[in-house]
Amino acid sequence: MTKTRLLGAVALGAIAFAAAPAMAQDCPRGDLDDRYCDTDGDLIADVPADPADQIDPDTLIFAYTPVEDPAVYATAWADFLAYLEEQTGKNVEFFPVQNNAAQIEAMRSGRLHIAGFNTGSNPLAVNCAGFRPFTIMAGEDGSFGYEMEIITHPESGIDAVEDIKGGQLAFTSETSNSGFKAPSAILKSDFDMEAGADFEPVFSGKHDNSILGVANQDYPAAAIANSVKERMLERGVVTEDQLKVIYTSQTFPTTGYGTVYNLTPELQQSIRDAFFSFEWEGTSLEEEFSKNGEAQFLEMTYQEFWDVIRKIDAANGVSYACE
């Protein structure tokens, strides 16, 4: 078995995997795309009943949500992915995705097997790509989650959310909960402010871009995940005196981790067991994510933990229709 490798986007496209069946199926599915079934009503795709529709690849591809520079997370995940190789007997490769859409498409097309999707893109990954999330990171006491913050530079002249009117607000991407969906719903319901009418929306692509943009005064304000901000502060990428928080939301679930639906049940169980048996102490995963106080993988269900996110999507008129 080889060492865990960093797999580039071009290389990933050259590797052939069995793609998800494209034929519509006559079965209960709720909001799921018509290539999936949900006979047990848990809101995620069932594992195909026919073994012929299940896959057992020699190489497993893992991707982490593109919140910051992918190179940071290739290093952070190295020890866990090496452990995943030991537990599954498979080669494991890290795919450095550049945006949420590319990550979802990679799983939908059968080129991505294990992933951490950000809060806002979990519903789309579940419904369009057959993603089966089962865990999130949590502290030693079981606490989890993050808040959406609207931040500005101390010298921007912005002291309250209402001061953004007539100016510019940076979002990350339309699939991000804290970077777009939650602030859009909150600004409309609590402040009667809508993008395009009351302020100019711009999109930075990622949370670190938005945070750096505010710190360097390229953006007057931005909606971001404070978990990303805390890690950047801890690494010294930005400093406290470059940022001012003018709004903090309720707590949301953080990145959801899971597998694509059509891996064999045995392989899915082996991957699941690896997440829950991994010892964090002294690893590269602990070094990076302890900056947010995270110390373990906590078992969860999409149906329960993502209920508030689905409600935010409904308030924003978001559809999970798959192209």
C-alpha 153 chain-centroid distance: 26
Pairing of strands 256-260, 131-138: antiparallel
Q: Name the E strands within 207-300.
A: 221-225, 244-252, 256-260, 296-299
| Amino acid identity, position 188 | K
C-alpha distances (whole Å) from 229 to each of 142, 153, 206, 235, 249 are: 21, 14, 12, 10, 15
- Could you give the CA distance from residue 118 to residue 146 in angstroms, rounded to a whole number? 11
Q: How confident is the model at residue 147 (pLDDT cuts 50, 70, 90)?
A: very high
Q: Residues with Cβ < 8 Å from 159, sequence gap 6 or more?
A: 246
What pLDDT is attached to residue 67? 72
Q: What angle do CA 85, 42, 139 make, to 5 degrees?
A: 55
pLDDT value of residue 70: 72
- Give the model's pLDDT for residue 284: 97
List phi, psi (to 5°) of 116: -110, 110
Q: What is the DSSP string of 288-299?
A: HHGGGT--EEEE
Give the pLDDT confidence of 234-288 residue by residue, as tens digits.
Answer: 999 999 999 999 999 988 999 999 999 999 999 999 999 999 999 999 999 999 9
pLDDT at 121 over 70: yes
β-sheet bridge partners, residue 295: none
**Mean pLDDT score of the chain, rounded to an integer?**
90
Rounded to whole angstroms, how far apart are CA atoms 312 and 310? 5
Quote the tokens at residue 97.
């995705």
Q: What is the mean pLDDT of residues 166-193?
A: 94
Question: Mean pLDDT throughout 312-316?
Answer: 87
53-95: pLDDT as tens digits: 999 999 999 999 987 677 889 999 999 999 999 999 999 999 9
- As a whole number of angstroms, the distance between CA 308 and CA 310 comes to 5
Output the pLDDT for position 72. 82
**Which domains occur in the chain, in start order?**
5-142+253-315 (3.40.190.10), 146-252 (3.40.190.10)
pLDDT at 17 over 80: no
- At residue 154, does pLDDT exceed 50? yes
Mean pLDDT, rounded, for 156-175: 96
Which of 21-25, 141-145, 188-192, 303-307 is the least confident region?
21-25
Q: What is the pLDDT of residue 38?
A: 97
* pLDDT for position 323: 67
* Among 110, 92, 112, 128, CA closest to 18: 110
Mean pLDDT on 301-315: 91
- The b/e string for 269-304 (b: 16+ C-beta within 10 A; e otherwise) is ebbbebbeebebeebbbbebbbebebbbbbebebee
pLDDT for 9: 39
Residue found under tokens 């537990």: 87
Q: What is the rounded average pLDDT of the residues 114-139? A: 96
